[in-house]
Structure 1
Amino acid sequence: MTDPARPAPPVGGGGGEPSARRAEDEAPARPAGRVEGAEPFAVLMPLWAKDRPDRVRQAIVSATEAQQLRPDLLILTVDGPLPAPLEALVERVEAGAHGPATVLRHSAHRGVASALQGGLEASPYELVARADADDLCRPERFALQIPRMRRDRLDLLGGAMREFSDRVAPGRGPLRTRPLTYAEITAYLPRHSPFHHPTMVLRRSTVLAVGGYRDLPLLEDYWLWERMMLGGARMANLPDVLVDYRVDEHLFARRGGWRLFASDLRLQRRFVRDRVTTPAGFLRNLGERGVYRLAPGWARRLAYRRFVEHDGRTA
């Protein structure tokens, strides 16, 4: 049994022009040194107590002053109280050390979905680029993505990543790819997430129109991609490496356990209800995820390399 056909992309650019105009009417003045004619955009980066200050600073620099096309605004969402070194860094960001910035604070830790949703709602710009607090954006990232978003009237645009670690320098680790075209992405989505979340640029009004980020441990982004596909969003991935993605020995250990399998079960049930997959596809996907979530961390690493990345290159 095959998965049902996906909806074709809309004729117009998804997102709703009235929302876009309102967002940009409220936007602050653009910083000096911007490329003339480039569409304004914000970078959204969540932060919490367990992030390392040295890595956060590197991530911020990579997403702001190191960019060939600099963002008009950095939005930091602080998810709960921070230790003193991180708080000092945030205060420097708020004072403009890395360019125009807004800091949003949660008094208690709420989770990444809430942090991202708050930042997205607070953005004065229609285009919002995601960045993580321990990854490194390539200098050309936004110069590649922002013009493409405008030219093709896209709602979602991601790209490839390369892993790095304390032992493997940026640019030398394994390559993580994803399908490139709309047809490839929608065919791939029922089995795996078709985007690397740290590489994404999103159209704010389109994301909010489908409900934005909702809490689902480790899978809040995957659920969002499904809802955006069903809402007719225009989607693509670039073949270029946009982000150096930090990994450590605990990464694959964190991706296992019954709690995350419960997230898989919840999302796969949603896929069946939404007719994104079939009952047979549900059983296949859940079986694969059960083995993956409950296997030892080293086995998850091997399985990811063999099946997920392999499928992403050949989708």
Structure 2
Amino acid sequence: MEKFSVLISVYIKEDPVFFTDALASIFNQTLPPTELLIVKDGPLTEELDNIILNFIHEYPSKIRVFPLEENGGLGKALRIGVENCKYNIIARMDTDDICVSDRFEKQIGYLSNNPSAVLVGSFVEEFNKVPGDLKVIKEVPEIHDQIIKYSKQRNPFNHPSVAFRKSAIINVGSYKTMIYFEDYYLWLRLLNNLNGYIVYNIQDPLLYFRIGNDMIGRRHGINYLVKEINFLNLAFKESLITFYEFCRLIVTRVPLRILPKPLLKLFYKILLR
């Protein structure tokens, strides 16, 4: 099996308990990572710094920390992280999610056995307080052609579930600052420049995805809508989506962002899984 890095970005407002659980799940694997790169997106609290130090003490040869002097946002932190990971295969992870114990074995195994694949994601199981409390699976399409078609309507990958080849990500410009849409913007650029390579989603949940109490709130309102329109406008200008696809996305997105939260929550629960 190929050596691989896990990339995680942490900033001052992270929940220490969630962060601890996320880091523990990275190493509680049937195939542990060769390297964990933690990008500190600006100064952290003493508690968060101590959590990192405790894990370094437990896994001294596995963990590297890349500190940034000030908070620059997720896109910048991940871009720097990708550049500084030692290995060509990189698995993403977020600070409040939990890996299923065989996640890396399945994903790194897939990439090792499929040299033409540059990215693999998976289903995720959403949870609120403890894994299994919601029993909701967020599904994404499986094979290459389905993923490309789906990407013209919605984000085709569950971001913290993906593993990818560093070279392919850097080749399309890596992560860029695009608040709320850093990953979707990257995927569209990747899918439009595959040059014969493929992508894939494993049809099993390999990550427990914490949604929290205000997930709907984070995807609601004028501020989010403005950033979404700016993202879609840039995607159109860069020929990542057609004018028809741009118009369709605008027509479907605007009502969702301004619906009353109770209606949006119901709509999300019924139709947007």
Task: Give the TM-score band, short-chain normalised.
Answer: over 0.9
Superposition pairs of residues 62-73 of structure 1, within 5 angstroms: 62-64=25-27, 66-73=28-35
Report the equivalent of 2:9. 46
Decide whether the 8 Å contact of 2:128 with 2:213 is kept in 1: no
More strand by share: 2
Question: Within the alignment, does 1:277 sit opposite 2:241 as a pair?
Answer: yes
CA change 1:192–1:92 in 2 (3 A) is same
Query: How big is the shift at 1:144?
Result: 0.5
Which stretch has the larger CA shift, 298-307 or 181-190?
298-307
* Alignment counterpart, residue 59 of structure 1, candidates 18, 22, 44: 22
TM-score, length of structure 1 as denominator length: 0.81
Higher Rg of the two aligned structures: 1
Report the Cα distance in structure 1 between the residues aligned to 2:234 and 2:217, rounded to whole angstroms: 26
Report the equivalent of 1:23. none
State the superposition RMSD in angstroms. Answer: 1.7
Report the equivalent of 2:229. 265
Question: Within the alignment, does 1:177 sit opposite 2:128 as a pair?
Answer: no
Query: How big is the shift at 1:172?
Result: 4.6
Give the letter aligned to residue 16 of structure 2. Answer: P
* Alignment counterpart, residue 249 of structure 1, candidates 209, 213, 237: 213
CA change 1:215–1:278 in 2 (3 A) is same
Query: How big is the shift at 1:92?
Result: 2.2
Query: How big is the shift at 1:305?
Result: 3.0
Decide whether the 8 Å contact of 1:113 with 1:213 is kept in 2: yes
Decide whether the 8 Å contact of 1:80 with 1:108 is kept in 2: yes
Decide whether the 8 Å contact of 1:60 with 1:98 is kept in 2: no
Unaligned runs of 5+ in 2: none
Report the equivalent of 2:55. 93
Give the letter aligned to residue 155 of structure 1. Answer: V
Report the equivalent of 1:159. 122
Question: Within the alignment, does 1:306 sit opposite 2:270 as a pair?
Answer: yes
* Alignment counterpart, residue 114 of structure 1, candidates 66, 70, 76: 76
Unaligned runs of 5+ in 1: 1-37, 310-315
Query: How big is the shift at 1:298?
Result: 3.1
What secondary structure sits across from 2:32 in the alignment? coil
Number of aligned residue pairs = 270
Question: Within the alignment, does 1:287 sit opposite 2:260 as a pair?
Answer: no
Give the letter aligned to residue 291 of structure 1. Answer: P
Report the Cα distance in structure 1 between the residues aligned to 2:85 and 2:58, rounded to whole angstroms: 17
CA change 1:53–1:299 in 2 (3 A) is same
Question: Within the alignment, does 1:206 sit opposite 2:168 as a pair?
Answer: yes
Superposition pairs of residues 25-40 of structure 1, within 5 angstroms: 38-40=1-3
Identity within the alignment, %: 27
Decide whether the 8 Å contact of 2:76 with 2:175 is kept in 1: yes
CA change 1:259–1:198 in 2 (3 A) is same
CA change 1:272–1:199 in 2 (3 A) is same
What secondary structure sits across from 1:155 in the alignment? strand
Question: Within the alignment, does 1:148 sit opposite 2:148 as a pair?
Answer: no
Decide whether the 8 Å contact of 2:189 with 2:240 is kept in 1: no
Report the Cα distance in structure 2 between the residues aligned to 1:150 and 1:169, rounded to whole angstroms: 29
Report the Cα distance in structure 2 between the residues aligned to 1:161 and 1:73, rounded to whole angstroms: 23
What do the CA deviations read for 1:254-276 (whole angstroms, capped 9, x no partner)? Answer: 11222322222123223333444
Superposition pairs of residues 127-142 of structure 1, within 5 angstroms: 127-142=89-104
What do the CA deviations read for 1:114-147 (whole angstroms, capped 9, x no partner)? Answer: 1111111001100000011111000010111001
Decide whether the 8 Å contact of 1:42 with 1:73 is kept in 2: yes
Superposition pairs of residues 6-21 of structure 1, within 5 angstroms: none
Decide whether the 8 Å contact of 1:61 with 1:98 is kept in 2: no
Report the Cα distance in structure 2 between the residues aligned to 1:72 and 1:169, rounded to whole angstroms: 26
Decide whether the 8 Å contact of 2:128 with 2:134 is kept in 1: no
What do the CA deviations read for 1:157-203 (whole angstroms, capped 9, x no partner)? Answer: 0000111112x543752110000000100011011000000100011
Decide whether the 8 Å contact of 2:5 with 2:35 is kept in 1: yes
Report the equivalent of 2:151. 189
What secondary structure sits across from 2:272 in the alignment? helix
Report the Cα distance in structure 2 between the residues aligned to 1:289 and 1:98, rounded to whole angstroms: 46
CA change 1:269–1:173 in 2 (3 A) is same
Query: How big is the shift at 1:217?
Result: 1.0
Report the equivalent of 1:28. none
Give the letter aligned to residue 249 of structure 1. Answer: N
Give the letter aligned to residue 189 of structure 1. Answer: S
